[in-house]
Amino acid sequence: MSLLVETIRLLDGVLQNLEFHNSRMNQSRKELFNQHDIVDLEKYVKIPAGIHRGIYKCRVVYSSQPEEVSFETYEPRTIGTLRLIENNTINYPYKYTDRQALNDLFAYRGNCDDILIIRNGHVTDTSYSNIIFFDGTQWITPSTPLLHGTMRSCLLKNKIITEREIAVSDLTKFSKARLINAMLPFGTGKDIDIKNISF
């Protein structure tokens, strides 16, 4: 079985959204490894001297227990176009370090910056993030994600976004989209014009 990973945003020396990272990690440990103890990442992750200003990516690799922690500077990708890629068999319910299935689909992006994966006619995720769409009134995320991301969970809990099934035919009902993940909080990613999402 592949190792799993939590990618945590470190902002000015403070780990962000730990409640949601702890919840997902401990749920994964319980379901995959039958581990019922609770690991608190705040007690496990030691932030090195010298990275207490700015934004860094903290990666915690784990299986039944955390195994490795690393830090790296964060450079956001610029995503302005998405290509719809249909695959009805892809499955990524846990945040594995092995992303080969996603990378294989990413290879079909053509001249677009990233892909938007369609499974059984429904919108799921991009190759590396959840997605939200704006209908003129509210931001909506698909209720059929490949991975329940921590930022997605946080925004849903705080009622900043809502969720519902989004079929491919529904995309024209929206004006724009935005990518979200642990490193891309709400409002930090560039909006994508819905016209820039294509087959």
Number of H helices, E strands in the chain: 4, 13
Secondary structure E strands in 87-135:
114-119, 122-126, 130-134
Q: Is residue 2 over pLDDT 90?
A: no
pLDDT score recorded for residue 189: 84
- CATH 3.20.10.10 maps onto the chain at 82-198
- CATH 3.30.470.10 maps onto the chain at 4-73
Q: Write out the CATH class of domain 82-198.
A: alpha beta
Largest CA distance in the chain: 50
pLDDT digits (tens, 9 = 90+) for 7-57: 999 999 999 999 999 999 999 999 999 999 999 999 999 999 999 999 999
Q: Write out the CATH class of domain 4-73.
A: alpha beta
Q: Report the Cα 70 to chain-centroid distance in Å.
A: 19
Q: What is the average pLDDT value for the chain, to the nearest integer?
A: 97
Q: Quickly state the pLDDT bin for 1 (edges 50, 70, 90).
A: low
DSSP letter string, 122-187: EEEEESS-EEEEE-SS-EEEES--SS--HHHHHHHHTTSSEEE--BGGGGGG-SEEEEEBTTB-TT
**Structure tokens, 128:** 């590396």
pLDDT digits (tens, 9 = 90+) for 62-102: 999 999 999 999 999 999 999 999 999 999 999 999 999 99
The percentage of the chain sitting over the pLDDT mark of 90, rounded to a whole number, equals 96
